[in-house]
Chain A
Amino acid sequence: MGSVIAFWILAALVVGSAVGLVVRRNPIHGALFLVVNLGGVAALYLMMHAEFLAAAQVIVYAGAIAVLFVFAIMVLIPGKEETGPDPLRAQRWLAVPLGGFLALEIALVLRSTVFTTSRSPATVPGGVEAVGRLLFTDYLFPFEVTSFLLLAALIGVMALTKRKAS
């Protein structure tokens, strides 16, 4: 019973903060809503006894959010809400069909999946050992590809900023 209540509170928090993130025009407030959102998702992971995922989520996104803050201040002029004419006005019309398509997709996925609650928490692959084992056996190739991609991004950023500075 307690966990159900907690789930609904967290779910409301996650959805509410996601809405806030989209609706707020102040980028800093948006970033703060994102913090709440990611924290809520981490708490949901914790409820599913996937402690490692929760911790990883928080560690990774703490840094990510911090960078986002800096971007919000440096790139968007802070305090100035984005109120000017939208340069990509035409794309707005694409939002409706794309949104509809996404909703349809989610609905189809939800319909076709069978949810079970029979698995005991201990066997859920969310622990450190389980994640580690999966990463270094079944998913070794995607894991390496991802790390390579991130490395490329890192070097790319360095090259770009260097060129701009000189």
Chain B
Amino acid sequence: MSEDRIAVLEEKVKKLEEKLERLESEVSKPLLILDHVTMQFGGLIAVNDFTNHVNRGELLGLIGPNGAGKTTVFNVITGIYYPTKGRIIFDGIDITPFKPHQITHLGIARTFQNIRLFYDLSVLENVLVAQHHEISNPDGDKILMMHGKPPKNTKKGWFWRAVSKLGYMWKEKEMVNRAKELIERVGLSHVMYEKASALPYGEQRKLEIARALATKPKLLLLDEPAAGMNPKETEDLMEFIKRVRDEFDVTILLIEHDMKVVMGICERIIVMDYGKIIAEGTPKEIQTNPKVIEAYLGKEWENV
């Protein structure tokens, strides 16, 4: 009997070791890899042979003149477009063929260039909506399980639970508590029950980031978070983004036109122009890169 038991235990240890090995190799790899990604709309090549990566825990900036293809890169990563060519690998999973709701479930959340809140819902409800996928995304869970990861939802029949309110209220309470805690952490608790449309611009931006965080992302994509903000608001936002990265343990990739923001908080910067990467490096390196200066023609450069 005891020998059998030892054999079983040994088997378990072996499995755990394998898992550990896999996790270790995963952690050492970048969180997101874009492998020769090309996005073509008819005759227009919006993103041309984009190859780069986002390391774990990094705060990476993606900059470039208008129309360089930055937002298209975001849209390709989040599954709004299928790339014409190339692969996107996130946390060891090839996410190229997946749809936006599946990709969010796997751990990529985003904000939009023009704020897209659920304006008629309250701040609390906006955040709660972002947690809904945990109980209603079997597609995403299937992908997670296929790759040997634990699914986010293990219980069945949430629709009937929600309608009958049997075996549901504990979940609702748990979700509300979590949402309230998040709202408090980002400093929006004073407007918890206000409609999103009633918030001032800066707080709407903040709420959009909070909502994205509620999906429990590993990677957060911010599309021009400082657009339309005054210098004071921009300053606050920079602090906020840094805090988010540290406190919520998430990797951030951000698009920004405001050079003060990019140079101030990003650890590494990728510069795009006409769909191609023209430079990459630390803020210092980018500032002195002649190619970058040429792309911007000194227009935005004066701000720095």
Q: Do A and B come from one complex?
A: no
What is B's interface to A at a CB cutoff of 8 Å? Answer: none
What is A's interface to B at a CB cutoff of 8 Å? Answer: none
